[in-house]
Structure 1
Amino acid sequence: MTSSIPWLASLRTSILSLLAIAIAVVIGLYLLTDFDGPSTAQTQSPSSVDDGHDDHAGHDHVGHDAANSLELTSQARANLRLQTEPVTVGPYTKYAEVPGMVTPWPGKTHISITSPLTGVINAIHVSRGELIASGSPMFRLRLTHQDLVETQEDFLLQLGQLDVEDREIQRLSAITSSGAVSGKTRLAREYEREKLLAGLRAAKQSMLLHGLTEQQIATIERDRTLIREVIVRAPWVEEDNSLHHEALSQATNRMAGNPEARLASMQPPPLDDHGHTHIDAEFVVSELDVRRGESVTAGQQISQISDFSQLLIEGLAYQRDARLLRQAADTHAEVQATMSGPDGDVEMIGGLNVIYIGNKIETESRSLAFYVGLENEIERDEVRNQKRYVSWRFKPGQRLTLRLPVSRIENSIVVPKDAVAEEGLNRFVFIENGDHFDRVAVEIVARDSVHVAIRNDGQIWPGQQIAVRGAHQLQMEMKNRGGGAIDPHAGHNH
């Protein structure tokens, strides 16, 4: 009994030791599992083992702040009509804006075509909207003017009397040399011939003023028949912008010739320093006031032609803008104009100057009119049925905005107004960074309806590509994706 007690004690000690070792192993495994996490085999899904797929594959977040960065697809760029331009640093000119409207240039744009005499419109050679040159035929008029008919009759009568006098003078010259007739008789005949020539010159001037041409008058003299129709032509334009008829110039020059010569043989002398010089001019037929077969009277307007190459912009300045207006006119400062383009964009017109300031304040609007010169250009040119039709870029009646310079800010970053997004007190621009656009907060120095001046404080740098339109849509998209607070992993399904 005594000998078995030590053996039991030894067995008990061994069992306790093994139990302590097992407890230690279990505790060690627990601690390793808690701090080291699951094994690699447990964390890998079958799909990741098979194809190596990564939920973040294709998303490079290096260099992008997820809270202020937005990735756009090519379709999104196209839908936004997104445009980028490099950032530049330069001066910003602040402008005061006043309303304006394109108007004709008084006394220069429109020209009235009037009937030179009473008659009936037999033919119309032009169409409304057609572009014609100086001297182009416009109407054919059948004469019913009694004064012109009588003038032609007197002209033919005097031509016949002149023929008689010429033959008589020739006869007297032949017999005077033989002494049969005194020289006094021949001299009386020559005086009578001078009277006839003076009457012919007066009749010719009268027919020219009635609208007949030199060629028509020469035809009357050659064929001894009356003119029944006249052609009304577009007038010629001189260097001083005056209108001129070629027939009148030829008549004036021919009257300066030898009065002894017959009218048919008179030749125009060369033009002197004060002669007429034509310039190339083209007009649009803006109005047609008659129809074929219509009877018209002398002096009645039958058409209107217009030269839209130079127009005016009528601006309306108010009392607060009077000083800026005078300053722009005195210094010949460049005035700008803006108008809405066909796609909603703002179209800028530069290089304008104030021509003159009005002298009347409108009683109702209390505004002062001023006028700015506007050079026009043809935007559409088409030929149909051998007639040329054009459309000018600027048209009277178009509304626009005139911008008078106020002040100048140096060393600014000038961007279009659509390049800046607003949210509360903050202003943002979006810088292109690869396939992302990074939002950058900026400080606005000045702004108008076209441009914004940003302080050059290092937030954005020259040469960076900035979104110049669609900034507001980019800001709204960033807020929508973030759901208010920006989630760095927004758009990624883990």
Structure 2
Amino acid sequence: MCTVMTSSNQWLASLRTSILSLLAVVIAVAAGLYFFTDFASRSAAVSEANVESDDHAGHDHPDDRHEGHDHEGHDETNSLELSEQARANLRLRTEPIIVGPYTKYVEIPGMVTEWPGKTHISITSPLTGVINAIHVSRGELIQSGAPMFRLRLTHQDLVETQENFLLQLGQLDVENREIQRLSAIANSGAVSGKTRLAREYERERLLAGIRAAKQSMLLHGLTEQQIESIERDRTLIRELVVRAPWVEEDNSLHHEALSRATDRMAGNPDARIASMQPPPLDDHGHTHIDAEFVVSELDVRRGESVTAGQQISQISDFAQLLIEGQAYQRDAKLLRQAADTHAEVQAIMNGADGETELLDGLNVVYIGNKVEAESRSLAFYVGLENEIERDETRNQKRYVSWRFKPGQRLTLRLPVSRMENAIVVPKDAVAEEGLNRFVFIENGDHFDRVPVEVMARDSINVAIRNDGQVWPGQRIAVRGAHQLQMEMKNRGGGAIDPHAGHNH
């Protein structure tokens, strides 16, 4: 009996446990259905609201896009917001859009060169001697007439010329005194006129010899001051100062010459020839120019023996240089046209920081007459005005650095054609994606990407069709367009849709 009652109690306890478990399951299922239904209804409401807000997405109003309203009318898929730090990292720069002409150019490699026969001047030793002093330094800027070297003379011919000059001066003094004595007693009849005439002829012969000796010493390199010193002190010149030459208007060098002052030594033995260092005009009426030169080469040392005609230095004037271009044969006609019409040629020089520098207003000076056999190129030359970019004085010596230097590489641009009514922007302002081309318009703190049609381009500028996609006065990112395009692509999470940027 007891066994039956124990089994009955166990069965009731098991039934109670099962019922409680079933109730717990039913309650959990009911609660899950309630929360799921509520979440679905709220999600549907949110989706419906998003659909309503997206009805106008991607349809920018023209006035909003072109007048620069800060955040209204943006198509977020074609708009990029940049922080100040991002702008600084990109070195982003904007400029207003301008409509104007676009000139198409042919680009030709070139190099800065010296102007033959004009840039460099050789300084040679006028006589045989020994270099006693060097008054200039390599790289120094000197002026015309500045002393460069002091030369101790060992030239036998010059020594003999000076000796003969002094001898003739002494003989001339004797003749002048004799003529004066004969003139004083001529009226007494003690001396015939024939004797006096003979003395005058002898004086003329001596004067001719003295003039010839002066010319010879000038040709040897002595200055008129030195010749006057020999004549005044009756001593030989032992040293010679070599100076920077004077330059005439026709770019020729000035050489010392006797003045046109009348030689009155016959009537006045103390008369001296006027100095001409430097003369304002030479015998041909040319004006002398106070030129400046850079000592580009020093070929001797102190104590070195040099011979007459030996180059001892080179000075250079880099104020005017040439750009040598190497045109292809197919560009020969275009080159002749540019030279005949005096068309303005441009040059591009790449800076150390990667920036390009554009030089305009250049002209073709002349075209070569030889086509290189190996490269099949035709050389032509463009004039280049130079300027000093650095000027420094050390130890009372002036050193300069010119902006353009022979050997620098650049690119010449010959004009080909011209188109009007184009939007001209720098090449870095246009981004490429497949067949599409984009520019980025500044719109507050955003940049809106706008598709454009490129009509022509070169290494500097791009010509965009003026079709209303962008408007004059809008500010455009003129550099960093490629980086902006890549950032927009990365934010999109993949490849850009081929129709991106085209609002419907």
Which category describes the TM-score, using the shorter chain as reference length? Answer: 0.7 to 0.9
Kept after mapping to 2: 8 A contact 1:218/1:264: no
Bigger mean CA deviation after superposition, 77-86 or 478-487: 478-487
Q: Structure 1 residue aligned with 2:100, among 90, 95, 107?
A: 90
User: Corresponding residue for 1:158?
Assistant: 168
| Map 1:61-80 → 2, pairs under 5 A | 61-80=71-90
For residue 80 of structure 1, what is the amino acid of its counterpart?
A: L
- String of CA shifts for 1:190-231, please: whole Å, max 9, x gaps: 110111111000000111111111111111111111001011
Q: For the residues of structure 1 that align with 2:273 and 2:436, how far apart are their CA atoms?
A: 86
Q: Structure 2 residue aligned with 1:266, among 268, 273, 284?
A: 273
Aligned to 1:139, the other structure's residue is in SS state: strand
Aligned to 2:308, the other structure's residue is in SS state: coil
- Whether 1:170 aligns to 2:180 is yes
User: Corresponding residue for 1:483?
Assistant: 493
- String of CA shifts for 1:27-76, please: whole Å, max 9, x gaps: xx99x9799859xxxxxxxxxxxxxxxxxxxxx74232211111111111
User: Corresponding residue for 2:198?
Assistant: 188
- Whether 1:223 aligns to 2:233 is yes
- Whether 1:197 aligns to 2:207 is yes
| Map 1:429-448 → 2, pairs under 5 A | 429-448=439-458
Aligned to 2:339, the other structure's residue is in SS state: helix
User: Corresponding residue for 2:390?
Assistant: 380
- String of CA shifts for 1:149-200, please: whole Å, max 9, x gaps: 0000000111111111111111111121211111110110111011111100
Extract unaligned runs of 5+ from structure 1: 1-28, 39-59, 488-494
Q: Structure 2 residue aligned with 1:473, among 483, 489, 492?
A: 483
TM-score (norm 2): 0.82
User: Corresponding residue for 1:291?
Assistant: 301
Q: For the residues of structure 2 that align with 1:81 and 1:264, how far apart are their CA atoms?
A: 76
Aligned to 1:157, the other structure's residue is in SS state: helix
User: Corresponding residue for 1:404?
Assistant: 414
Q: For the residues of structure 1 that align with 2:260 and 2:415, how far apart are their CA atoms?
A: 53
Bigger mean CA deviation after superposition, 273-282 or 430-439: 273-282
Kept after mapping to 2: 8 A contact 1:93/1:408: yes
- Whether 1:452 aligns to 2:459 is no
Aligned to 2:483, the other structure's residue is in SS state: helix
Aligned to 1:243, the other structure's residue is in SS state: coil
Kept after mapping to 1: 8 A contact 2:264/2:271: no
Q: For the residues of structure 2 that align with 1:304 and 1:157, how far apart are their CA atoms?
A: 38
TM-score (norm 1): 0.84
User: Corresponding residue for 2:149?
Assistant: 139
Kept after mapping to 2: 8 A contact 1:67/1:486: no
Change (3 A) 1:69 1:221: same
Aligned pairs, how many? 433
Shift in Å, 1:357:
0.7
Shift in Å, 1:253:
2.3
Change (3 A) 1:273 1:119: closer
For residue 253 of structure 1, what is the amino acid of its counterpart?
A: R
For residue 265 of structure 1, what is the amino acid of its counterpart?
A: R
Kept after mapping to 1: 8 A contact 2:320/2:386: yes
User: Corresponding residue for 1:393?
Assistant: 403
Change (3 A) 1:224 1:101: same
Change (3 A) 1:76 1:188: same
- String of CA shifts for 1:121-176, please: whole Å, max 9, x gaps: 11111111111111111111110110000000000111111111111111111121
- Whether 1:253 aligns to 2:260 is yes
Q: For the residues of structure 2 that align with 1:133 and 1:286, how far apart are their CA atoms?
A: 14
Aligned to 1:162, the other structure's residue is in SS state: helix
Shift in Å, 1:274:
3.5
For residue 74 of structure 1, what is the amino acid of its counterpart?
A: E
Kept after mapping to 2: 8 A contact 1:129/1:285: yes
User: Corresponding residue for 2:376?
Assistant: 366
- Whether 1:240 aligns to 2:247 is no
Extract unaligned runs of 5+ from structure 2: 1-33, 44-69, 498-504
User: Corresponding residue for 1:341?
Assistant: 351
User: Corresponding residue for 1:313?
Assistant: 323
For residue 228 of structure 1, what is the amino acid of its counterpart?
A: R
For residue 422 of structure 2, what is the amino acid of its counterpart?
A: S
For residue 139 of structure 1, what is the amino acid of its counterpart?
A: F
Change (3 A) 1:262 1:272: farther
Shift in Å, 1:252:
3.9
Aligned to 1:64, the other structure's residue is in SS state: coil
Q: For the residues of structure 2 that align with 1:193 and 1:132, how far apart are their CA atoms?
A: 44
**Cα RMSD (Å):** 2.2
Kept after mapping to 2: 8 A contact 1:96/1:405: yes
Change (3 A) 1:486 1:277: closer
